[in-house]
Amino acid sequence: MKNSNFKEKAFRLLQQSVYRTQRFMQGRNGTDFLSKDLYRLALILFVISLFIRNAVLSGIVTVLMAYVLFRTLSKNLGARQRENALYCEKRRIFLSKAAFEKRKWDDRKTYRYYVCPSCGRKLRVPKGRGKIEVHCPCGNSFDRKS
Ligand SMILES: [Zn+2]
């Protein structure tokens, strides 16, 4: 009997603290992609700083953590959402460029990539065919060595 009473109290206490935390976070930004990635970066730098004792690195970790905390607790939702949207867009562009560079590297023995001088589109042509005329879907064609 005594044991179940203790469990009940502990559960109620836990419920209360969850409820209080939820109320505290109401109207605040919480965690978003930008905060999560900054937190991961801070964590990586923190682990590095354990091996390389450097005041500047420790300072960067502290500032990053403070900024993550500020963004999470911020009530200026408009500004935080704009920052997050800008970050997500830059991240998307970076990842698509990185994926393209990886594909170029994987194909390096069988394909060559050229940029159309007229529209800027990236074109892939098979390697080792000598001098060829490259046709772009925009209608432009140009001579290149493959
Ligand atoms: Zn073109």
> What's the CA-to-centroid distance between 114 and ligand 1, angstroms?
10
Q: Distance between CA atoms of 134 and 139, rounded to whole angstroms?
A: 10
Average pLDDT over residues 27-48: 96
pLDDT of residue 1: 56
Residue 93 has, within 13 A of its CA and on its CB side, a CA count of 5
Q: Distance between CA atoms of 135 and 146, rounded to whole angstroms?
A: 13
Residue ranges per structural domain of the chain: 27-106, 109-146
> What's the CA-to-centroid distance between 104 and ligand 1, angstroms?
19
Q: Distance between CA atoms of 134 and 104, rounded to whole angstroms?
A: 18
State pLDDT tens for residues 71-130: 999 999 999 999 999 999 999 999 999 999 999 999 999 999 999 999 999 999 999 999
Round to the nearest angstrom and report the end-to-end CA distance of the chain: 83
Q: Distance between CA atoms of 81 and 65, rounded to whole angstroms?
A: 19
> What's the CA-to-centroid distance between 113 and ligand 1, angstroms?
13
> What's the CA-to-centroid distance between 90 and ligand 1, angstroms?
25
